[in-house]
Amino acid sequence: MSRNKIPILQEEITGMHLDKLIQKAIVMGASESAIIDSQNISVEDNLANYCIEPKCVYYGLSPSCPPHVSGPTEFRTLKKTHTHAVVVRIIVPSAALFSDERRDIMRLLHEIAASVEKEAVRMGYTDSKAFAGGSCKIIFCYNHLECRRLSKNGKCRNPQNARPSMSGFGINVSNLIKKCGWPVNINGREAESDAEKMSWVAGLIMLG
């Protein structure tokens, strides 16, 4: 478990109050958390296009994924008004992401991102917006035939925790991790057994 603060922000932004958001993420179960300048978030159209071609199996299943999200263009606009952000990362055994544990890990990621967003709103960043990973349909509503918002124009079953995936907005997540000063490849140079390999998932909370 570690906490990083990137020395690229003005002193008033990196004050104690934003440190609370990092602490919130860690307490909730993040392995690492950092504050970054939003200009360090790389948004690339071609990454968002991967949701369409090759088509993701979760494409269109929930409002948190394309074609229902506003995509890279709107995220670039968001960067102009939300000048800084919290990044969270959960480090897990790679094997867990290919097992029944995956859903629990992704659910935790959404819960952490949503909790940091809510804490930011309480602190006065009332237009904060959290982004996580994966489709909320498969994470929260896997035992329902359809997303209630899309199928019946009704209320989300999990509004407290379900957040949009970064993928549909073209956010370069590897680059985001590097900007936090964290390694993308967290395994050593020595060949490790599959059981020892580690991986990660990440979320982003735009503060505004």
Residues near ligand SF4 (CB under 6 A)? 62-64, 136-137, 140-141, 147-149, 156-158, 162
**Least CB distance to ligand SF4 at residue 59 (A):** 13
Would you say 82 or 149 has its CB closer to ligand SF4?
Answer: 149
Shortest CB 144 distance to ligand SF4, Å = 7
3-state SS assignment for residue 96: helix
- Of 112 and 147, nearer to ligand SF4 (C-beta) is 147
Tokens 């960043």 correspond to: 125
At residue 126's C-alpha, the angle toward residues 169 and 88, to 5°, is 50
Half-sphere exposure at residue 205, Cβ-oriented, CA atoms within 13 angstroms: 31
> Which of residues 38 and 165 has its CB atom nearest to ligand SF4 in the complex?
165
User: How many other C-beta atoms can be found within 10 angstroms of the C-beta atom of residue 185?
Assistant: 11
In whole angstroms, what separates CA 110 from the centre of its chain? 7
- Give whichever of 68 and 76 is closer to ligand SF4, judged by the CB atom: 68
To ligand SF4, the closest distance from the beta carbon of 64 in angstroms equals 6
Q: Shortest Cβ distance from residue 63 to ligand SF4 (Å)?
A: 5
Give the nearest distance from C-beta 65 to ligand SF4 in angstroms.
9
Of residues 31 and 62, the one with the C-beta less far from ligand SF4: 62
Beta-ladder partners of 165: 132
Task: State how far the Cα of 83 lies from the Cα of 39, in Å rounded to an integer.
Answer: 7
